[in-house]
Amino acid sequence: MPAFFLRAAVLVATLVSAPAAFAGGLDDAVLSELNYARAHPAEYARELRHQMRSSGSDDYSGFTNEDPDAVDEAIDFLERQPALAPLARDTRIAAAAREHAATQARRGGVGHGAAGSLGQRLRNHGVWAGISAENISYGYDEPRAIVRQLIVDSGVAGRGHRRNIFTQGYRSAGVACGPHGAYGAMCVIDFAGAIVQRSAEK
């Protein structure tokens, strides 16, 4: 786990330079980018390949510090991936993501917390989901860079972040991006499957 966070932090992208970088609809833009990748994976693969060779060479200069094999693997995956339905924006899930982003911004930490903490955060905001997952990006403040990093998933065994994005069972998501003391920027993306409706007293 720590190896991923170090790699995620040093991957080069548009880094945040001021808190104002988070003003406006970055959260919504990241969700839109996720949904674009889910709905048009083959097109996303073409765009990644074009970006990879934008310098006119095969040296992966557009993907500094990313494993070239991971980039190729991501493109191959996207070319085979069927289109998926978009993730619905859920304000309760976004609130759970925002809670975690605020905690890490304040403490400068990384990671998902203790085992079961995502489920507890979701329940704290009224979400009981059969399945859930969380992706966190560090060091990015631009939607395409955030989502690209998580899809390439360089240095992460099993490509778990990519799997989360393209899991058919996830129906809703919430995004919370903000500043991070150590890495400048972070973005928490929480996913949920079917949400169980519970009575108010519960």
13-25 per-position pLDDT tens digit: 333 333 334 444 9
Which of 3.40.50.300, 2.40.30.10, 3.40.50.2300, 3.40.33.10 is the CATH number of 26-53+60-192?
A: 3.40.33.10
Kindly provide the b/e burial profile for residues 132-148, where b requires at least 16 CB atoms within 10 angstroms of the residue's own CB: bbbbbbbbbbbbbbbbb
82-140 per-position pLDDT tens digit: 999 999 999 999 999 999 999 888 777 776 664 558 999 999 999 999 999 999 999 98
Q: Can you give the pLDDT at residue 104?
A: 84
Q: Can you give the pLDDT at residue 50?
A: 87
Q: Can you give the pLDDT at residue 186?
A: 93
Domain spans, the chain? 26-53+60-192
Q: What distance in Å separates the CA atoms of residue 53 and residue 65, rounded to the nearest whole number?
A: 15
154-184 per-position pLDDT tens digit: 988 899 999 999 999 999 999 999 999 888 9
The C-alpha torsion from 147 through 175 and 86 to 79, rounded to 10°, is: 10
For residue 26, count CB atoms less than 10 angstroms from its CB and return exposed for 0-12, middle for 13-18, buried for 19 or more.
Answer: buried
Q: Can you give the pLDDT at residue 41?
A: 99
Is there a contact between 54 and 62 (Cβ–Cβ < 8 Å)?
Answer: yes
Which of the two residues, 178 and 197, has the higher pLDDT score? 178
